[in-house]
Chain A
Amino acid sequence: MPIELAHFALILALMLAAAQAWFGLAGPALRNERWQATAPFAACGQFVFVALSVGLLIHAFIDNDFSVKYVAENSNSALPLFYRVTAMWGAHEGSMLLWILVLSLWTLALVSRLRTLPPSFGARAIGVLGIISFGFLLFTLLTSNPFTRLIPAVPDGNDLNPVLQDPAFAVHPPILYMGYVGFSVSFALACAAMIEGRRDQLWAHWIRPWAVMAWAFLSCGIALGSWWAYYELGWGGFWFWDPVENASFMPWLAGTALIHSLAVTDKRGLFKSWTLLLAVSAFSLSLLGTFLVRSGVLVSVHSFAADPTRGVFILAFLVVMIGGALVLYAWRAPLMKSAAGFDFISRESFLLFNNILLAIATAVVFGGTLAPLIADTLKLGTLSVGPPYFNPSFLVPAVPLLALVALGMHTRWKRGGLGTARRPVLIAFGVALVLGLALSLGVYMHPLPLTPVGAVVGCWIILAALIDPVARLLRRQRVPANVLGMSVAHIGLGIFALGITFVQSNTIERDIALKPGQSTQLGEYVFQYLGGGDVEGPNYEGYRGKVSVTRHGQTVATLFPEKRHYWVQGTVQTTAAIDPGLSRDLLASLGDDVGAGAWSLRVQYRPLIRFVWIGALIMAIGGTISVIGRRERSAVGERSTSQSAAENRA
């Protein structure tokens, strides 16, 4: 199949995106119902041509068509078929195409749910999504075309970056983009609400499932990325505060604030303008992240090949999208007045604290990420910001945020107080206090000052989240999906907090040179180096060491860390050997051959590290449950939204 066909399909998609934007926005504005009804069809057509374009590019990879420059630069005939498919998103150009595909998938999802929205409102949202699509399609076609030919063709390609030759690379970018890009839907719906100047709060009800779904995908995507970095890079770290990681973490924090603020606006009609601002911010931070990653303004391990013309284009696009939305906000938000009030101690006030603390957390990450640029602007010289800034600063909002979760979940709306939940919440706190202190002082000793706090708070959140579903089950009542979803997500948060607490305070790692037969002790574990030998893979050769781990004289694990040399790109990569476990991970990775048969090794013991990813995954599952359950509810009952909202309040 000629790659020109894919190029052509993408140009058609661009034109359909323009049609989608025009009909979606001009249709309702000019009260032209036929135009308005055309927008969804343009969106479907756009999806078809984007998908065709992606399919043809993947085909060129499978086919080893090295006359396509992008294929020649990112694939090789010795590369296994599976990685030839995933190599499609292995570099800037293809990953932009994936970005666009994901955006058109979300648009398609919104189109399929249009009947739940007023026609003009839905059309406007589709129109806003059309502008975003148009911008990114134009960007790809003008500055990042993956369909350029390489003439003359090369006999073989340059191979995919070895770090990306991993099964996690098949799922991490698509899921991460589903989250990242997914906030475009809540952005578009918020813009539609502002364009219409709606004074009610129904828009919050409509945005909620989209924001929660995008948030769930993003949680999952970030967790996957962290897990992948952990085992692939072999340093044992799972979060590096790298600018690119921060670029995905900022929308997550803003998105977390958004889904909580949406709950207040939906149920109580409060925080309207703040919620709109968060909906705009979450996606704006996604766009900003795209700019930071792809323009070369920040130095990062994840950076794509930098090209200033791309930076200029995305910057112009940021001005149009974010600037436009904020102008709209300045114009329309004053209309959105909140009439109702609430007590100082009420669900509303807790959610307000939640939002303030999450906003501070976002600002901490934002400031740290952009600090090198700000210093550059103010001519303060070069500045490098890393974990020494982020770790302590982030704790400032994070600790109170987590400490308030258990109370916030059970405080009543409006009237204030904990009501009947008072006793179980206090009992949960008592149990958590005992458990947390036992864990941090008894089981895992040598705590940091904050370890007992983290342990108690983590346990408290989990126990408090269980109260509601357990009470309902004891009374033989059904647990509604929104209650279940919220409980599950908060249980995930508690597990996550426990994981972070103990992996930070009780990890032991050591760099040491060992000859075969020599060993080193980490806590209760003894790591013994047993020598090694050469290995050969399909597109690499390397050295594989053997390390046995014993505890109290019994063998627990045998680890085979590798150091690989990939022929084509000439890169060397260390692959850590990990013995995973729910309670601890044991790691060994190879450093260098230091001569006389000895190798430098890095060995690590990391307690509860799995809790970090499992917790994030459970949070994502919780979000998904609440969205799916909501769909059932609206399909089953004919109740109006205000009635079901009143019911939720009870």
Chain B
Amino acid sequence: MTRFLLPLAFFALLLVVLVVGLKHAPDKSLIPSPLIGKSAPAFTLSSLFDPRESVSARDLGGRWSLVNVWGTWCVECRAEHPELLQIKQQGLVPIIGIDWKDNDDDAQAWLSQLGNPYDRVGADRDGRVAIDWGVYGAPETFLISPAGKVVHKKIGAMTADVWQREFLPLIQAATTR
């Protein structure tokens, strides 16, 4: 009789393993950036709007800032765009855009249509800078401290929730100290 209960017992054990696995699953999708705590990678890009101007790592530092990697070909970028505009309106941090593997005309049209949340936008046409920044896929947003260090990184769309829970506390904690 009991031998017919064995499969059930085995399944119960398996369930324990699966539940633990599921609990730990979110950690696996987090890809920690090796850049966290280090200086922002140096880069120099020509400005999207004026090729004679450049956007570089010197535009970071001295104050809190965000670096946002985006492209007009990226669906999630469109989803996060309104939130970036919101952040710009709050005026707490400037946003530096890196327009990744994009067509300049498309990118300019996008910003004039949807609004421009960026202080400066560099055009990373061949994607070299994104490689230095360890970008997995657009959109990605980095928080840079006044000392020019990478403090936080978000893969995927910026939302009001992410901004308030992940980014704002980091800035506030540092400024109130």
Contact = CB atoms under 8 A, between A and B. Distances in A.
B163 interface: no
Interface in A563-583: 567-570
Interface string A141-153: 0000000001010
A308 B78 CA distance: 25
A580 B78 CA distance: 45
B4 A158 contact: no
B4 A315 contact: no
A323 B8 contact: yes
A150 B75 CA distance: 9
Contacts, number: 89
A376 B18 CA distance: 10
Contacts of A152: 78
A570 B103 CA distance: 13
Most central of B21, B25, B29, B101 by chain A CB within 10 Å: B21
B8 A377 contact: no
Nearest to A66: B75
A373 B25 CA distance: 10
A335 to B, nearest CB: 10
Given A73-B75, A377-B17, A326 B11 contact: yes
B74 A297 contact: no
A306 interface: yes
Contact of B7 (A277, A298, A319, A370): A277
B19 interface: yes
A448 to B, nearest CB: 35
A306 B74 contact: no
Interface of B is mostly: helix
Interface in B118-145: 127
A327 interface: yes
Contacts of A458: none
A152 B77 CA distance: 12
A568 B73 contact: yes
A236 interface: no
Contact of B75 (A158, A273, A326): A158
A312 interface: yes
Q: Which 9 A-B pairs have the closest CB atoms?
A: A297-B21, A373-B21, A377-B20, A296-B25, A326-B8, A311-B22, A330-B4, A333-B4, A158-B75
Interface residues of A, number: 45
A322 B74 CA distance: 41
Given A299-B28, A312-B22, A322-B11, A156 B4 contact: no
Interface in B76-119: 78-79, 100-101
A377 B21 CA distance: 7
Contacts of A330: 4-5, 7-8
Contacts of A280: 7
Interface in A121-169: 150, 152, 154, 156-158
Contacts of B15: 315, 318-319
Nearest to B138: A570
A295 B25 contact: yes
Given A277-B7, A308-B26, A570 B127 contact: yes
B20 A373 contact: yes
B52 interface: no
A273 B5 CA distance: 12
B16 A377 contact: yes
A157 B101 CA distance: 16
Contacts of B177: none
Given A295-B25, A296-B29, A323-B11, A273 B17 contact: no
A311 B20 CA distance: 12
B165 interface: no
Interface string B10-37: 0100111111111011101100000000
Contacts of A69: 75
A374 interface: yes
Given A323-B8, A326-B11, A377-B20, A306 B29 contact: yes
A227 interface: no
Contacts of A329: 4, 7-8
Given A73-B75, A333-B4, 5 more contacts: A158-B75, A306-B29, A311-B25, A323-B8, A570-B101
B1 interface: yes
A315 B28 CA distance: 18
Nearest to B78: A154
A308 B25 contact: yes
18 contacts: A273-B4, A277-B7, A288-B14, A295-B21, A297-B18, A297-B25, A318-B15, A322-B11, A323-B8, A323-B11, A326-B11, A330-B7, A330-B8, A377-B16, A567-B101, A568-B73, A570-B100, A570-B127
Nearest to B1: A334
Contacts of B74: 158
